[in-house]
Amino acid sequence: MKRKNVIKIVGVSGYIVFLIVSFILGFNPGKEIGYNFASFSMDMLKILPSAFVLIGLFEVWIKRETVEKHLGEKAGIIGYIWAVLLAGTTVGGIYVAFPVAYSLYSKGAKLSVILTYISASAICRIPMALFEASFLGIKFTAIRLLVSLPLVIIASMLLGDYLAKRNYKVMAGK
Amino acid sequence: MKEAYFLYAITGLALLISLIINRRKTLRALEIAVKRFAGILPHFLIMLILVSITLFLLPDVFITRYLASDNKFIAVLFASLLGSITLMPGFIAFPLAGILLTKGVPYMVLSAFTTTLMMVGVLTYPIERAYLGAKLTIIRNTISFFIALIVAVMTGIFFSEIF
């Protein structure tokens, strides 16, 4: 593990030095990479702090029984419907879905429901779907959702059950 | 980014209500938020570095050229590979797809590109692994890749681009 960390630190430092030198010397590829980094960082920093505050509030206010009842073992098919609806309103992207998924999981949501939520948050966020339809047409978006969503749910059920039998755990993201 | 303002409004409101009902619980919520955010931040840094370099190596012009290939099936294959290894916010990806559509790129190629862009994340691997572990991350992304291919084929069928 230690050697891995050393490699990471060297890599990140090398990257930072490369960007600084590129900006000083006016090396265009380096500058472009720097701009890419800045623009993506800004996009994520707009969303992430709020998302984590909501996760924190969820952790202190929502009872374990509530999550178990709606997203747990006993919820049955309703759990998957909740997962898709929740995914539809997730803001940002799949990178927000992971920490949310961990919170839900640690409060008793079923693994296959969590997997549905993660994949669904990639494909059926409502604002994104509307934006997509405005450029590519409603038919395009409808086909994509109607084909992918059932496949995602079926795959999540199979994969979740398989992994649950092997005591698989979702981690805290460290 | 209207989405972001909506999120701020909701977060602010939730925080305020929580603060009024129970100050101690609210502080604990913020503590959890900071701790979790700090925990995943190094992984985000690595991902952002990978994204910045990949986008430089694969600019829009490059993507456009490969998606506009004459052979539909090769184009679908390229589109799904490019969609898997790049990361693009929707407000760039969909207008780009819209332009490609007017240039005559088939729907199924655009579908392969946008669906893998959304579902398959080679660059988000550092983050996903931190939560799901390496094994599940690889399995989930592999399954997603095949689902995206099925979506592309179905799109091709419904738009009469194949058969």
Distance from CA of A73 to the nearest CA of B (A): 19
* Residue of A12, A22, A40 to mutate for B, most B C-beta atoms under 10 A: A40
Q: Could you identify the residue written with the tokens 């997509």?
A: A132
pLDDT at A169: 85
Select from B36, B44, B80 the residue whose CB has the most chain A CBs within 10 Å, as the one to mutate to test that interface: B36
Q: How far apart are CA B92 and CA A57, in angstroms?
A: 32
Q: Using a CB-CB distance cutoff of 8 angstroms, which residues of chain A are in contact with residue B144?
A: 119, 122
Task: List CB contacts (< 8 A) between A50 and chain B.
Answer: 4, 7-8, 10-11
Mean pLDDT of B124-139: 94
Q: What local confidence, expressed as pLDDT, does residue A113 receive? A: 96
Shared domain check, B6 and B79: no
Same domain, B151 and B82: yes
Position B50 in a domain: no
Q: Which of A51, A160, A40 is nearest to A98 (CA)?
A: A51
CA closest to B91 among chain A residues: A131
Q: What would the pLDDT profile of B133-159 be if each residue is shown by its tens digit?
A: 999 999 999 999 999 999 999 999 999
Encode pLDDT of A84-114 as tens digits. Answer: 999 999 888 889 999 999 999 999 999 999 9
Residue B122 located in a structural domain: yes
State whether B68 and B105 are in the same domain: yes
The per-residue b/e assignment along B111-135, b for 16 or more CB within 10 angstroms, e otherwise, is bbbbbbbbbbbbbbbbbbbbbbbee
| Structural domains of chain B, count | 2
Q: Is the pLDDT of residue A1 over 70?
A: no
What is the per-residue pLDDT for A3?
83
| Chain A partners within 8 Å of B6 (Cβ) | 91
Residue B49 is assigned to a structural domain of this protein: no
Residues B33 and B99 in one domain: no
**Alpha carbon distance B57, B49 (integer Å):** 13
> Tokens 């600019």 appear where?
B59
Provide, as residue numbers in chain A, all residues whose Cβ is less than 8 Å from the Cβ of B141: none
Mean pLDDT across chain A:
93
Distance from CA of B139 to the nearest CA of A (A): 9
Residue ranges making up the domain that contains B28: 1-42
